[in-house]
Structure 1
Amino acid sequence: MTWRIVHIKESERLQLKLDNLEILKRGEKYLIPLSDISMVVIEGNTSITTNILSQFTKYNIVLVVCDNKYLPTGLLLNYGNYHHCAKRVIEQVHWLEEKKRLLWKDIVGQKILNQIEFAKYKGINEERLSIMIELYNQLQPGDYSNREGHVAKVYFNSLYGVDFSRDNDCMVNGAMNYGYAILRAAMARIVVGQGLMTMLGIFHKNEYNSFNLVDDLMEPFRPIMDYWIDQNILSEYEFLTYEARLTIIDFLNQPMIYLSKKSSVDQVMQKYVSSFLKAISGERNKAHPVSLMDFMGAER
């Protein structure tokens, strides 16, 4: 089981050393077994060899590349390494529309429930909570009336003020954008590791988006990341510093209860995708829910 998330800033060079990632920085060499690594986040001016890039894909290690503002802008993922990749893709293409609509209701419904729980935790007034709950109760398969979008507006405006927009250039958005990008990279790694095509979603169908399925499956984890950022970033940092970014990345290592067992968030994401696949194939009625309360409970 991989577990390391490696964050590299201003290293001189990354290269392959036997079955290890070798990091050269300030005259020192650091070795990390590739079999331990799930994600590498790289910032600044760093040289990297094609040999290590090749090994990243073979070990299903996702490489996250950040720009000069330290925001993730690119991913390197493995391609076709799942043992029954063609079979899995054929199954994915033939997923039933009715099943996709029902599963999307479950997925986005769990996201909304997590948003409601976080809003309760933050002491949002009862009137706004009632609006969010009523919108959740109106949720239909496929969410064609966009209850999710209406809940999101009430949710963010309740937490951060009526003038808040996700387009604002502010610390809250900077932290959430960074956190969501890390979530997206972690989920993309799991999706391709299961032999699935990232661009074929069950709800997201943007022809310009290569990660439609990833964006579908990560939705319930977004409010959990919001809670992590609220607790550990917004109360501690005024800017998205190096230490703040490390703290956001460390979210994936945090404990969470899932299927009555304590696992890391990264492991829960893997179990969640497996549960989703059983649901979409008809082996079970729905994917096992991912609850903010199970994250908060594991912290205690």
Structure 2
Amino acid sequence: MTWRNIMVKDGDYLRLKLDNLQIEKAGQKYIVPLSDIATVTLEGKILTLTTRLLAKFAQYNIAVIVCDNKYVPCGVYMGFGQYHRTAKRNLEQISWDEVLRKEAWTRIISQKMINQKDVLIACNLEKERINKMEELIANIQFADITNREGHCAKVYFNSLYGQDFTREQDCLQNDAMNYGYTIIRAYMARLVTSLGLIPTLGVFHRNEFNSFNLVDDLMEPFRPLMDWYIVDKLLPKYKKYLSWEMRCDLINFMNQSYSHKGRKTTIDIVMLDYVNSFIKLMQYGRDKELLAITLEGMRGVQ
């Protein structure tokens, strides 16, 4: 079971040591079994790794996230063809009933909006704003054809960060969310490809220039969980800029505890369960439920 999310900074040398990742820095060597690793995030201008190691990363289904000169994740490297029945699963996905596809999107986006509302409740924000969110959720139509999700997002972010806040502002809140969402996206892309799904063939997202339409669909309910993690754990701790320590904490979101049906697990494991529930919905139709991803699952861990 993979569970480590490795962060590597300037000046390191990464090489393959048997079936382990060996990290060399300042004369010290650190060994991590490849079978333990889910993602490796690389940042900085001076960093060396071998092609043999990249090949092993692909074979072990380890996602390698590359950051730009502003430390923002800008690319992801993954293996392909890891699932043993990829062609069969691809055909199932391509032939999926359009009505069921729209029903799945209604479930996904409704859960995201419910989680956003629950974030506002957890933050003890004004009742009138929570009531507005509840009204928008109650009025979702099939496949959200009236874009209640877009209206909900405006109320949500203005409630969290003020009436003048926009997602385009240059501020710590946006930097943290952008970084955090990219980490979720990379991890979700790893799961989608490893389970034989076509990442470009989305449920709702259909952008011809987007390689990860399905990934962007499936990650939606997890965004508010990242928002809560940032508001509750990180913004009280980090005040000025997206520091190295804050970036490490954002990556550590994947290891946060999550409670599901009385079982204590972690975000990365519940993401796997969630994608598997999506596959069952795709295969067997309305008889199968999409796993509900809730803020309570994250906050209710004892």
Q: Which category describes the TM-score, using the shorter chain as reference length?
A: over 0.9
C-alpha separation in 1, matches of 2:37 and 2:52: 16
Q: How many residues align?
A: 299
Kept after mapping to 1: 8 A contact 2:92/2:282: no
Partner of 1:291: 294
Aligned runs of 1:60-71 on 2, under 5 Å?
60-71=61-72
The whole-number CA distance in structure 2 between the counterparts of 1:259 and 1:70 is 37
Is 1:26 the counterpart of 2:26? The answer is yes
After superposition, what is the alpha-carbon deviation per residue over 1:136-169, rounded to whole angstroms, capped at 9, x for unaligned? 0111221111111110000001111111100000
1:195-206 to structure 2, matched below 5 A, reads 195-206=196-207
TM, length-normalised to structure 2: 0.97
Once residues 143 and 174 of structure 2 are traced to their aligned partners in structure 1, the CA distance between those partners, rounded to angstroms, is 28
- Structure 1: which 4+ aligned runs deviate by more than 6 Å? none
Aligned-residue CA RMSD in angstroms? 1.0
Matched, 1:77 2:43: no
Q: Distance in 2 between matches of 1:159 and 1:165?
A: 11
Instruction: Name the amino acid aligned to 1:152.
Output: A
SS of the counterpart of 2:264?
A: strand
**Partner of residue 246, structure 2:** 244
- Which secondary structure does the structure 2 equivalent of 1:101 belong to? helix
Residues 216-265 of structure 1: CA distance to partner in whole angstroms, max 9, x if unpaired? 00100000000100112111112111111111111110110124311110
Q: Which residue of 2 aligns with 1:93?
A: 94
Q: Please name the residue that 1:270 is paired with.
A: 272
Match of residue 258, structure 2, among 256, 261, 284: 256
TM-score normalised by L of structure 1: 0.97
What residue ranges of structure 2 are gaps of 5+ in the alignment?
Answer: none
| Contact 1:103/1:286 (<8 A) preserved | no
Structure-2 separation of matches of 1:138 and 1:64: 38
Counterpart position of 1:141: 142
SS for the counterpart of 2:165 is coil
SS at match of 1:282: helix
Partner Cα separation in structure 2 for residue 197 and residue 25 of structure 1: 38
Per-residue deviation at 1:197?
1.1
| Identical-pair percentage | 48
- Cα pair 1:232 1:247 within 8 Å, conserved: no
d(CA) in 1 for partners of 2:155, 2:288: 30
Equivalent residue, structure 2, for 1:3: 3
2:235 match: 234
Distance in 2 between residues matched to 1:259 and 1:178, nearest whole Å: 30
For residue 281 of structure 1, give the secondary structure of its aligned residue in structure 2: helix
1:38 matched to which residue of 2? 38
